[in-house]
Amino acid sequence: MKEAEIRRLLAANLLCVFSIILTAVVPAFFWDGFTVLGTHLAWLCICSVCVSALNIILHLVLKTNLSPKRSSFAHKISRFLKCCIYFFMSCILFHAIIVLYGAPLIESVTETFLFAVLLSTFTTLQCLCMLGPNIQAWIRVFSKNGAMSIWESSLQITTMCSILGAWFGAFPIPLDWDRPWQVWPISCSLGATFGYMAGLVIAPLWIYWNRKQLTYKSR
């Protein structure tokens, strides 16, 4: 049972990694002059959209949610709207944090906001898919030993890795190398993407490695 689930997790995660790689490669066939660095904002949009679409589809297919309660259509709609609002709020929050970290307030608002959207896609969207708009559950998952399934462990790991990636991505900005990837927010968004991809790969491996120690108690 557990092994099979881990395999499913690995497959889903690898699909995500693959889709991110595709977003960097495929648009170049349709659009002359598309590069990740040159037309970075376009790539940010494409990547966010693809990753969120894939995540939602995977979530619907795999049914990772632990409590598959039957609920009315109206309830589902309100839930969906709530999710949208939460996602938007998380974008704003990330934007605010990035500005507090020193991003310019007025100049390059678009860049900063798209970066915030990318970060939200990597972190908040997954949480919303898996846990729904339920703050208590979020707090539970992101506290020590709070995960209740391998999907939640994977969520923890990928979220941490994306944020750490974005954090490390800020390091090369002060260097005076004048490289195209040092322009705001390329290094950070690339850092977040690589962190996310690394998290996706690491999560199944780490769970597999520690499968003996991981005992998920259900409520």
Partner 1 sequence: MRLRSGVFASSCLLVEALGVALFLRGFFPVPVRSLPRREARGDPPAEPAPPGPGMVSNWTKIPPPLFKKVVIVLIDALRDDFVFGSKGKQFMPYTTQVVEKGTSYSFIAEAKPPTVTMPRIKALMTGSIPGFIDVIVNLNSPALLDDNLIWQAKTAGKRIIFYGDDTWVKLFPKHFVEYDGTTSFFVSDFTEVDGNVTRHLDRVLKREDWDLLILHYLGLDHIGHMTGPNSPLVGPKLREMDNILKKIHISLLSKEEASLPNLLVVCGDHGMSETGSHGGSSEGEVHTPLLFISSAFEKRSDPGYEHFKIAEKSHGNWIKLYLEGNNSEILLNLGKKVLKQYLEALKTLSSSLSKQVAQYDMYSMMVGTVIIMEVLLLLLLSVPKALSSRAEFEVPLSPPLFSLLFYLMCLMLCAVHVIVCTSAESLCYFCSMSWLTAVGVMMLISALMCGILSAIAKILENSRLPLKYPVVSNSSLSEVDVLILAGTIGHVLSLGASSFIEEEHQTWYFLINTLCLTLCQELCRNNFLLKECDPQHSTTVKQNFDSIGEASECKNIDIPAAGNSKLGKATSSAEFIKGSDKWISLASPWIILICCRLLRSLNQTGVQWAHRPDFGHWLTSSEHKSELSFLAAVSLFMIFFLVRRRCSLVSKIAMALGLLGVYSYRAAIGNVIFPWQRDSKDISKGITEARFVYVFVLGIVFTGTKDLLKSQVISADSSAKTTGLWEVYSGLVLLAALLFRPHNLPVLVFCLLIQTMMTKYIWRPLKFDAAQITIMHYWFGQAFFYFQGNSNGIATVDVSAGFVGLESYVEIPAIFLTAFATYAGPLLWAIHLLCYLSSEVSRNSAAVGHGCFCYALMRSIPVAIYIVLVTGLRYHLFIWSVFSPKLLYEGVHVFITATICLFFTAMDQNHSHKVQD
Binding site for partner 1 (CB under 8 A): 97, 99-102, 105, 139, 143, 167, 170, 173-176
Within 8 A by CB and 6+ apart from 2, the residues are 150, 211
Task: Select from 131, 149, 135 the least CA-distant residue to 217.
Answer: 149
Query: Closer CB to partner 1, residue 87 or residue 138?
Result: 138
In the bound state with partner 1, the residue whose beta carbon lies nearer, of 66 and 170, is 170
**Closest to 201 in 3D by CA, of 161, 152, 144:** 161
Distances (CA, A) of 120 to 34, 60, 163, 195: 24, 19, 10, 14
Minimum distance of partner 1 from residue 109's CB (angstroms): 15
CA distance 30 to 23: 12
Work out whether the CA dihedral 22, 25, 31, 36 comes out positive or negative.
positive
In the complex with partner 1, which residue's Cβ is closer, 16 or 141? 141
Least distance between partner 1 and beta carbon 167 (Å): 7
Closest approach of partner 1 to the CB of residue 194, in Å: 19
By beta-carbon proximity to partner 1, the closer residue of 98 and 150 is 98
b/e 17-46 (16+ beta carbons within 10 angstroms → b) = eebbeebeeebeeeeeebebeebbeebbeb
State yes or no: cis peptide before 185, omega within 30 of 0. Answer: yes
Residue 176 beta carbon to partner 1: minimum distance, rounded to whole angstroms = 5
Q: Which is nearer to partner 1, 57 or 175 (CB)?
A: 175
Q: Which is nearer to partner 1, 43 or 138 (CB)?
A: 138
Pick from 131, 130, 151, 147: nearest CA to 6 = 151
Q: Which residue shows structure tokens 């699909």?
A: 15
Minimum CB distance to partner 1, residue 119 (Å): 14
Least Cβ distance, residue 22 to partner 1 (angstroms) = 33
